[in-house]
């Protein structure tokens, strides 16, 4: 019986050491398990890049100024049309010719009236000279008769008659002078009428008031020219075109004249350059859209009425940025999960421009910092992770 007892005691004495070894093995297993539990999380570095703030708009191409050409005289038939739609004209170029027959006939009549008026003036001048000569003679007779009357050699009746004749002769001089002035006024009137006819004859040539491209021609040979109906021609002044772009109400206040824009036309291989010329001061009551007028810098290949998509550059910054998915939002504003070593720390940031898949960081991070690529990942402030660099 004694050997069995000693064997029992020996086995019991080895039990505490076995327990210690088991505890050590369990601790090592837990540490290994903890190392394996740390999740693999994609992270991205904070990098410097150029970010552009754009406003997207769309609209149709239109002329900055459409100039309508109407005849300056009416009632004359159109004899010839010298240009057509699509022609580029210069200021002062003749576009159409109206009939001159009626006006030339009126000018011939006025020439005759002018000759008659000049003859009347000549007669009036002769009558005035005669009247003045008669008046001078009557005045001398009146003076001699008055002197004889004082000497007593002439009767009072003779003196009265001489004085009356002198007064009548002076009055005839006044009438002759007025007749001469009337004849001269008639000449001036006829000359003014002649100048008006010459002006109308010059206006029978319908000329372009500005340079540009003709977009419409409503005139027809043989029709009567009139300013009351449709204009004879429509010209795009200096071929200057603009895009009437509709802009969301929220973006209108971000626009200002002088901002550059990229214009994409249907079928065009490359965008065109444009400059924001004007932001209209009103918003559509029904559409809730504003309107921006973007001048097209190169009109080659651009036609009025084309549909255009525009990207208006509002601002351009060279700063640090992170992927948009790295930024989360909370009660205190925007936050990112900053990675230091293998530990995640939630950091508040101030954001700026969003351009494509990137967002500008104005404060809270520095160039070279590392953040969790997706802020919505299952990580919290203080968690340990296994950082995996993003592939793009």
Q: Would you call 382 exposed, middle or buried from its count of C-beta atoms within 10 A (0-12, 13-18, 19+)?
A: exposed
What is the DSSP track for 141-172?
Answer: HHHHHHHHHHHTSS-HHHHHHHHHHHHHHHHH
The pLDDT of residue 33: 47
Q: Right CATH number for 67-99+205-235 from 2.40.50.100, 2.70.70.10, 2.20.28.120, 3.40.50.300? A: 2.40.50.100
The pLDDT of residue 36: 54
Strand 94-98 to strand 307-323: parallel, antiparallel, or no bridges (unpaired)? Answer: unpaired
Q: What is the mean pLDDT of the chain?
A: 86
In sequence order, what are the beta bridge partners of 165?
A: none
The pLDDT of residue 261: 95
Q: How many residues does the chain have?
A: 392
Please identify every stretch of the chain with a pLDDT value under 70, giving residue numbers as ranges. Answer: 1-37, 376-377, 392
Coil, strand or helix at 271? coil
Q: What angle do CA 146, 151, 154 make, to 5 degrees?
A: 60
DSSP for residue 364: S
Distance (Å, whole) CA 44 – CA 50 = 17
Q: Would you call 152 exposed, middle or buried from its count of C-beta atoms within 10 A (0-12, 13-18, 19+)?
A: exposed
Distance (Å, whole) CA 342 – CA 134 = 132
What is the DSSP track for 263-288?
Answer: EEETT-SSPEEEEEEEE-S---TTT-
CA 281 from centroid of its chain's CA atoms: 13
The pLDDT of residue 89: 95
For the chain, the domains span 40-51+318-389, 55-63+239-316, 67-99+205-235, 101-200
The pLDDT of residue 341: 85
Compute φ and ψ for 117, nearest 5 degrees.
-65, -40
User: Given the structure tokens 């009548």, which residue do they identify?
Assistant: 168
User: Given the structure tokens 């097209």, which residue do they identify?
Assistant: 296
Give the pTM.
0.66
* Class of domain 55-63+239-316 as given by CATH: mainly beta
Going by C-beta distance under 8 Å and a sequence separation of 6 or more, which residues neighbour residue 357? 323, 324, 325
Q: Which fold has domain 40-51+318-389?
A: 2.40.420
Distance (Å, whole) CA 51 – CA 60 = 28
The pLDDT of residue 308: 94
The percent of the chain in helix, strand and coil, each rounded to the nearest 5, is 35, 35, 30
């Amino acid at each position: 019986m004694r050997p069995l007892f000693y064997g029992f005691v020996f086995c019991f004495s080895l039990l505490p050491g076995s327990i210690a070894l088991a505890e050590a093995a369990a601790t090592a297993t837990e540490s290994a398990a903890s190392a394996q539990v740390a999740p693999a999380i994609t992270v991205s570095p904070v990098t410097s890049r150029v970010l552009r703030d754009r406003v997207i708009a769309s609209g149709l191409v239109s002329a900055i100024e459409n100039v309508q050409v109407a005849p300056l005289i009416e009632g004359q038939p159109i004899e010839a049309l010298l240009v057509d739609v699509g022609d580029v004209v210069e200021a002062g170029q003749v576009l159409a010719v109206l009939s001159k027959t009626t006006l030339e006939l009126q000018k011939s009549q006025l020439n005759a009236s002018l000759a008659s008026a000049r003859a009347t003036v000549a007669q009036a001048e002769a009558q005035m000279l005669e009247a003045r000569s008669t008046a001078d003679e009557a005045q001398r007779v009146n003076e001699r008769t008055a002197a004889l009357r004082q000497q007593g050699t002439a009767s009072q009746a003779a003196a009265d008659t001489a004085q009356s004749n002198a007064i009548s002769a002076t009055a005839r001089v006044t009438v002759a002078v007025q007749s001469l002035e009337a004849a001269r006024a008639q000449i001036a009137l006829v000359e003014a009428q002649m100048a008006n006819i010459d002006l109308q004859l010059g206006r029978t040539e319908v000329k372009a008031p500005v340079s540009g491209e003709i977009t419409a021609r409503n005139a027809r040979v043989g029709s009567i020219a009139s300013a009351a109906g449709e204009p004879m021609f429509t010209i795009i002044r200096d071929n200057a075109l603009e895009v009437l772009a509709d802009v969301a109400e929220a973006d209108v206040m971000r626009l200002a004249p002088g901002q550059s824009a990229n214009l994409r036309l249907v079928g065009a291989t490359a965008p065109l350059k444009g400059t924001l010329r004007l932001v209209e001061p009103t918003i559509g009551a029904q559409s809730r859209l504003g309107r921006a007028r973007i001048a097209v810098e190169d009109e080659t290949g651009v036609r009025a009425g084309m549909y255009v998509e525009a990207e208006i550059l509002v601002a351009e910054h060279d700063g640090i940025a992170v992927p948009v998915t790295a930024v989360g939002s909370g009660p205190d504003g925007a936050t990112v999960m900053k990675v230091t070593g293998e530990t995640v720390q939630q950091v508040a940031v101030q954001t700026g421009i969003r351009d494509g898949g990137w967002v500008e960081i104005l404060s809270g991070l520095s160039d070279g910092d590392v953040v969790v690529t997706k802020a919505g990942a299952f990580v919290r402030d203080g968690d340990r992770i296994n950082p995996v660099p993003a592939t793009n």
